[in-house]
Structure 1
């Protein structure tokens, strides 16, 4: 079966990266508990890669970051789009997602977040 992936790119102020990591860790547990196959969050490290002269748009450009921001790349893997929709519905119904359950404000600007669902067209695993 083709897997399905929800992908995210976002800017996180470096001063809020620890708070973001805590929030993402809790979110990852929630998605896995409700059936996601994999949950990944990574922070930018090599954001100006040498592409041998090929012109590319970088993740910092995509996320509209400055020197005070970190780029976070995230994805959640599901069995299929239908499975994604089922898992996400369970997550959204979970009491942990109640806005009143959050103690602090979101540690990133959602208006600079890119998000989309992707169906697989190629997949290799070890």
Structure 2
């Protein structure tokens, strides 16, 4: 069964084009090192909840959108191997030359690794 890294990211609407460019470059690197899929999505039908929701999870602010992203691997071991290579690749570092101005607030980003339990 596949292993998935999942992400929720708050992105200012004004930075969405810059984020998309960065994500395309990053996706190429992940795929080059063996990721099975690299998917970036932006909210389309996302409601604020009373107890929990995607906007609440990232403390969404006015003028921002929620991005949901995931990367698929064969296994956790495969994920760890791919990520070691990706993080050592200078193209990843070069994507954010000015670290003081990233296209999103990484402090409110959520991520985690997930084992598949059902796949169809």
Paired position in structure 2 for 1:86: 81
- 1:98 aligns to what SS in structure 2? helix
Whole-angstrom distance in 2 between the partners of 1:56 and 1:32 = 36
Conserved? CA contact 2:43–2:67, under 8 Å? yes
User: What TM-score do you get using the length of structure 1 for normalisation?
Assistant: 0.86
- 1:115 equivalent to 2:114? Answer no
Q: Give the number of aligned pairs.
A: 118
Whole-angstrom distance in 2 between the partners of 1:116 and 1:3 = 14
* Cα distance, 1:56 vs structure 2: 5.8
Summarize deviations over 1:100-123 as a string: whole Å, max 9, x none.
x63443200100000000011111
* Cα distance, 1:95 vs structure 2: 1.6
Whole-angstrom distance in 2 between the partners of 1:68 and 1:61 = 14
Paired position in structure 2 for 1:32: 31
Structure 1: runs of 5 or more not aligned? none
Give the superposed CA RMSD: 1.8
2:58 aligns with one of 54, 63, 67? 63
Whole-angstrom distance in 2 between the partners of 1:25 and 1:63 = 22
* Cα distance, 1:67 vs structure 2: 2.5
Larger radius of gyration: 1
